[in-house]
Copies of this chain bind each other. A is one copy, B any other.
Amino acid sequence: MADSTILIVDDEAAIRDVVGITLDLAGFDTIKASNAHDAHVSIIDQKPDLVLLDWMLPGGSGIELARRLRRDEITSAIPIIMLTAKASEDNKVQGLNEGVDDYVTKPFSPRELVARIKTVLRRVNGKERDKSLQVFDLKLDPTSHRVTIEDKLVEMGPTEFRLLKFFMLNQEKVFSRDHIQTSVWGANVYLEERTIDVHIRRLRKALSSVKGVSIDYSKLIQTVRSAGYRFSVRPA
């Protein structure tokens, strides 16, 4: 983790410097780029472990670059954290569809930035253990048994909680209903097949029930026809 290389893409030198210093202090290696083209070259060339991408870039926006990276087989697995000037709903929703892994809104505290980078790296590396689970601003705390979105409590039943926990611990993979049943309800439990669907629905409902939130987190639970469901930050 401490050896991860982060590519910082921002047209403002001041931002590059501040972020660079922050990440240096946190033990990351850093590369910098001031425009989308240079960034793309650096990514292919040096394969950073994560890209910090400014939303607004001259001559090719950040979102364009993100899209390109996702399309390309070689770069599609590299996590991206967007740096946005302000929390705009449209931006967030669109970014979600482009497969961005997280957002950090300027101005941000060094602490938060580092925390989010670590979270994303942990998630991508599949080393999600203990502690509270977090995806964007959706947090699940196994200890206090609470789920929040942007610090607003999300109400759901115990079964939905376990279902969400399972998904957050196993992101990006498709699970059959059988598999979900075994993992969430346990073996030796007979359930009518459609029961899973209903709980999926209830979970989605709970996730989108929070008002005043820019992202619809229920979209993270994707239906894979004839296969099962998947929890993913990437577009379906």
A contacts, CB < 8 Å to B: 142-143, 145, 158
Contact = CB atoms under 8 A, between A and B. Distances in A.
Contacts of A143: 142-143
Contacts of A142: 143
A158 B145 CA distance: 11
Nearest to A142: B143
Main secondary structure of the interface of A (DSSP, over half): loop
A172 to B, nearest CB: 24
A157 to B, nearest CB: 11
Contacts of A158: 158
A153 to B, nearest CB: 12
Nearest to A144: B142
Contacts of A145: 145
4 contacts: A142-B143, A143-B143, A145-B145, A158-B158
Nearest to A158: B158
A129 to B, nearest CB: 11
A143 B143 CA distance: 5
A77 to B, nearest CB: 30
A142 B143 CA distance: 5
A158 B161 CA distance: 14
A130 to B, nearest CB: 8
